[in-house]
Amino acid sequence: MSSWVSDINKRNSKEEIPLLLCLKQQISDNYINNKQASGANPYKCLIMLLWLALKCSRYSLVYELIRSEEDIFEVTGIHLGQATKRKKFDLIDFLVNRRLNIVHVVLERTIRDFWNELTSSCSKFCMSRRYNQLITDDFKRICINLIRYVILLIDVVIFKLIWPYLYDEIVFHEEQALLNMFLEQCHFPSLEFSNFLCVMLNSPDVSQYLNNNTYFQGNLLKDMVTMFHIKQIERQDRLRVIYIIVQLVDVNIFDIERTYSLYQFNDEVVILLHHIKFEVYKDQHHDLNHIRRFILNLENNSLLKINKLKNLALVWKKSYCKLLNSMPGEAFNKNIRMKRKILNSAPSLYELSNFYSQKHIQKMYKIDTYNQFYIVTKKLYLPNDIKRSICFRPPLYC
């Protein structure tokens, strides 16, 4: 080694600097640190040096090499592209994680440039199962780390770029905190937040993940509507997400109570009542008491007074009727029993025709939002009175 110690930054015939040779020969970190203190410049061959340090599990050396924010900015901003081209995925993942922990404000362009370089370099490997599965998983892990970072950056564009590469079970099985992080820390605008939440909840493996997660089975809806209230998500966007969730988890009376406390008796509560299975509570006295208290609480809602029941849309009537029928009649007073009798009567031909007209329009024009429904209905060649009737609380999610 004495032949090259005289110039600690001089490269040999193989373009290797002394620090790199020290690492290859398993020389101690203290010796290498002394060389750095003597003027050795690790950035002469930083990418290979870092990669070898990771490969040899010399993490203390890696941290020493990129110990400051300025260093990590230089590594990720300048040299990450080189690591990508060389397929050094373990190094990339380390750098991305390190950047997440240290640098809190990064230029959007830096992440975009890296992402373009990464996908350009890796796409032919990641899209082909013929390549080593380890590389594919490493790539997805890098994507997840970037997604976490982007959620905090409020960068919708980059999220759109990265998410398709995560359309896999790795999101909901190996990284179970991702959905929680999105709900709690994402500050995308209302529409973008609900759009990406819908994308996540429509992922192929989300149903299996939620089925295996007892917390989400019992709390996802409550947590979701609470988050909607905190983030002030628009009504239409709330309904779209709730409609997806009720297909994935069982609705319980506590979900309905929480939703009612935040939004009163409206479309959100109607959807949940439409999908709840009251028969599962037949022998559960604690939950039956909650249902009874909730029914009594609704007596204070002016929309549900006996003289105003006729003004409810058909789906609202059916959902409220389903709730009242979940308990025996003798459990309530005369007023509630009278409501049950009214709501259990056959709907009028007008109500039925209006309901089926609404569902027919929705199906024919493939409508999934209220705005679309109103626009389409307005263009129909029908009398204005009929249009107004059809547009009254269309049952898009029931």
86 located within any domain = no
26 located within any domain = yes
- The answer to whether 216 touches 255, Cβ cutoff 8 Å, is no
Q: Total domain count for the chain?
A: 3
- The answer to whether 245 touches 198, Cβ cutoff 8 Å, is no
pLDDT digits (tens, 9 = 90+) for 223-236: 999 989 988 999 99
297 and 316 in one domain? yes
- The answer to whether 367 touches 380, Cβ cutoff 8 Å, is no
- The answer to whether 303 touches 318, Cβ cutoff 8 Å, is no
pLDDT digits (tens, 9 = 90+) for 288-326: 888 999 999 999 999 999 999 999 999 999 999 999 999
Residue that terminates a domain, selected from 31, 65, 99: 65
360 and 336 in one domain? no
165 located within any domain = no
373 and 340 in one domain? no
199 located within any domain = no
59 and 4 in one domain? yes
DSSP notation for 260-309: HHHH-SSHHHHHHHHH--GGGGTT-HHHHHHHHHHHHHHTT-GGGSGGGG
Instruction: For the beta carbon of residue 169, count every other beta carbon within 10 angstroms.
Output: 13
167 located within any domain = no
336 and 265 in one domain? yes
**Which structural domain range is residue 23 located in?**
1-65
DSSP notation for 5-25: HTSTT---TTS--HHHHHHHT
In 3-state terms the chain splits into helix, strand, coil percentages (rounded to 5) of 70, 0, 30
* Amino acid at residue number 363: K
Write down the residue that tokens 């709907």 correspond to: 347
389 located within any domain = yes
365 and 336 in one domain? no
- All residues at 6 or more sequence positions from 260 whose CB lies less than 8 Å from its CB, including other chains: 269, 294, 297, 298
365 and 298 in one domain? no
Q: Does this model's pTM top 0.85? A: no
374 and 335 in one domain? no
336 and 275 in one domain? yes
Residue that terminates a domain, selected from 41, 65, 89: 65
pLDDT reported for residue 6: 44
pLDDT digits (tens, 9 = 90+) for 84-110: 555 555 555 555 555 444 333 344 445
d(C-alpha 365, C-alpha 373), whole Å: 9
385 and 334 in one domain? no
d(C-alpha 207, C-alpha 198), whole Å: 13
Which of the four pLDDT bands, split at 50, 70 and 90, describes residue 398? confident
pLDDT reported for residue 17: 62
313 and 275 in one domain? yes
* Amino acid at residue number 196: F
Residue that terminates a domain, selected from 15, 42, 65: 65
**CA dihedral of residues 378, 380, 381, 386 (deg, nearest 10):** -60
d(C-alpha 374, C-alpha 85), whole Å: 52
384 and 331 in one domain? no
113 located within any domain = no
25 located within any domain = yes
Residues in the chain: 398
Instruction: For the beta carbon of residue 342, count every other beta carbon within 10 angstroms.
Output: 12
Task: Write out the two tokens for 278.
Answer: 């009251």
Task: Write out the two tokens for 133.
Answer: 């599965």
pLDDT digits (tens, 9 = 90+) for 177-235: 677 778 878 878 888 888 888 888 887 777 777 777 777 888 889 999 998 998 899 99
